[in-house]
Amino acid sequence: MYAILDIETTGGKYNEEGITEIAIHKFDGHEVVDKFISLVNPEKEIQPFVVNLTGINNKMLRTAPKFHEVAKRIVEITKDTVIVAHNAQFDYRILRTEFRRLGFDFERKTLCTVDLSKRLIPDAESHSLGKLVRSLGIPVSDRHRANGDALATLKLFKLLLTKDSDKSIIKEIVREESLGELSQRQLDIVASMPLEVGVYYMHNKDGEIIFLGKSNNIKKRVNRHFLKSGDLARQIQKETKKVTYEKTGNELIALLKENEELIENKPKYNIQRKKITFANKKHLVQINGYDILSDNVVIVDKGREIGERSAILIKKGEFSGLGFYNLNYQINNIHILESIITPMSSSRNAKKIIESYLREKKVLEIIELKNHQ
């Protein structure tokens, strides 16, 4: 569980700043389950440059609650979460300072989306929140206000979780959380799974992925794992301490992510996959006049939620990667598209997965890309 956080302050000397606004979105890795947004009376004047930047002035805050009046709510909504913020060191320091003034030691694990984006999107021109989300086509409003920036951070974090193909973020958190047996483990796990298409990951006590798979109904498939008999099934049941998942919106994305992540993670209980073979033909897939094995195209299909689409990039007939984008985002330019795509290896298996799927099933559309070189 994550607490996506953004704080606006009065400005001023180090450790003398006061909070003027706070926004927290409690995020379970898939959707927001709770949120808290409030102006805060800092009981001190706001620096003029901050007023110009945020639009928050002293008059607006006179009737706002003071920090001690919202402190309990902050503790409750962030309990058992990892705080996620853009430049988390700043927001966490400010929050801890305010709690320290109340005589309370506020401690939470933190994740910084600046650090994560530098690792997962190293080629971005800037890793500042505004410039980064704009370059990724993430819609943002109310910049430099707590809720606007928190929502932008949330959308960025969702993209980073998608780009984290070796699941290092989740593995690190699960490793910290898993201390011995989880109470009512299997029942709780199944209850938390969605009835949707995606990829699921079975973790041991150290957070390592011991088995991963794809399913059109994750809940049903995970439940089946726990009901199976046989030596291998029992070993997986015994070692599984937590199951995480990633919705993909459609089966083709799930198949490609499963293929890529089996190669990256090499879970010890996944049986070696058989090679996918077809008739020996040079060009197997022609759709809408495009030759999928030689053209520069993007395969578009349903996304994980309303207003979202998935994109699979084919460059000169080679599978290049996949990602998700907002419907108001223009993706027919290859250079723009590449900014939201998670690069993947153009393995023979991936090409065959795409060919086989397109022969048997329909996707929303296939778009020819412009400005390719």
At 130-148, the pLDDT tens digits run 899 888 888 788 878 999 9
Residue from 271, 305, 280, 292 nearest 357 by CA: 292
Bridge partners, residue 39, by sequence: 21
What pLDDT, on a 0 to 100 scale, did the predictor assign at position 187? 78
Residue from 157, 166, 178 nearest 112 by CA: 157
The mean of the pLDDT values for the chain is 85
Residue from 224, 347, 324, 373 nearest 275 by CA: 347
Tell me the domain boundaries of the chain. Answer: 2-163, 168-265, 286-368
CA separation for the pair 20, 8 (Å, rounded): 6
pLDDT of 11 strictly over 70: yes
**Across residues 350-371, what is the average pLDDT?**
87
At 171-197, the pLDDT tens digits run 777 655 543 333 467 878 888 899 999
Place of tokens 């795509």: 341
CA separation for the pair 319, 18 (Å, rounded): 50
**Across residues 276-291, what is the average pLDDT?**
49
> Which residues, 6 or more positions from 254, have their beta carbon under 8 angstroms from its beta carbon?
197, 198, 199, 214, 215, 216, 248
End-to-end CA distance of the chain, in Å? 43
**120, two tokens:** 């997962």
At residue 341 the predicted structure's pLDDT band, cuts being 50, 70 and 90, is confident
CA separation for the pair 148, 137 (Å, rounded): 15
At 256-280, the pLDDT tens digits run 999 999 999 999 999 765 444 444 4
% of the chain beyond a pLDDT of 70: 89
Q: What is the CATH number of domain 168-265?
A: 3.40.1440.10
**Across residues 354-367, what is the average pLDDT?**
90
Residue predicted with more confidence, 100 or 214:
214
Q: What are phi and psi of 32, to 5 degrees?
A: -80, 125
At residue 125 the predicted structure's pLDDT band, cuts being 50, 70 and 90, is confident
What pLDDT, on a 0 to 100 scale, did the predictor assign at position 25? 96
What pLDDT, on a 0 to 100 scale, did the predictor assign at position 273? 53
Q: State which fold the 2-163 domain adopts.
A: Nucleotidyltransferase; domain 5 (3.30.420)
At residue 294 the predicted structure's pLDDT band, cuts being 50, 70 and 90, is low
Q: What are phi and psi of 46, to 5 degrees?
A: -90, 140
- Give CA angle at 338 (332, 340), nearest 5°: 95
What pLDDT, on a 0 to 100 scale, did the predictor assign at position 281? 44
